[in-house]
Structure 1
């Protein structure tokens, strides 16, 4: 009895511990100070969850968008049904907008702060009655430069010295002729 129980536990553990799907890398290319990269999926059918990663050169803001395309396999019935469940960029949900029958657009509504590398885009959904695909791009823009605290301190000190010098300047007196 103990042997059967141990075998059942081992089998359940093996079934649950399926290997995780490796993430696909997106290569960013630089153009005029911003970085962009494209991605695309192969044809999908059934439930899927795809993970994409990319690396940014410094801290800044990341955005992403994708568009889906559902198509029928000739002679297949019923019509393909593509449901895009969730798209996240660094854990932030993207807005899903229907742009036609079973076609979606997912996009960030505002800039998302980059996290420690790698950045992660996750797409999940279900396709039944045929196959579908999606593609999109990610973009990165560096955060604007902010002076370091030492720079701020030196600037404030400079204003103080100028103010002190103006206050301590001897006043000019005019002599009057009688």
Structure 2
């Protein structure tokens, strides 16, 4: 019985200290502020619509760009995506469709000065929203997102910012890993095994007496 109590106490402690993984994505500004990801994102110029699709030049998988306004690939080859009317001012979402991203680089070509903030989905950065970053109309506003994992990022332009296109996307796909049980899951398993062992030990053998 004492061992059972000890196991329950240990499990409760594990449950109490188990916390979800914190968001870890980091943003830095400027080309070269972080190691350059290895795969170029490629798109084809095509018919305007709410989605532009792309591929990676040296890794499997596809990507997509989506917005509430019509988008268009502005060149064949390295990704340059903008609005069909050439003024992008609605949120633009970039998604890797076949897993998680561990590093991403891109350039926002702004028409007017303003600000942008980023919202991440998926991975250990799910739900993370950044503070505002300045973007200038000089045509070179490089951003790098790294250290965390995510499947998509939405960029929202504010404070008068309008954008010609967002391009020069490069990414690293996060390696696939097997799921590891959280401490709370291990604690519940320990409780289950302890309960089974305790119930087995409490069973008393049945003595049968046969009379001649």
Q: Answer yes or no: same fold by TM over 0.5.
A: no
Larger Rg: 1
Greater RCO, 1 or 2 (C-alpha within 8 Å, sep 6+): 1
Q: TM-score, normalised by structure 2?
A: 0.36
Q: TM-score, normalised by structure 1?
A: 0.41
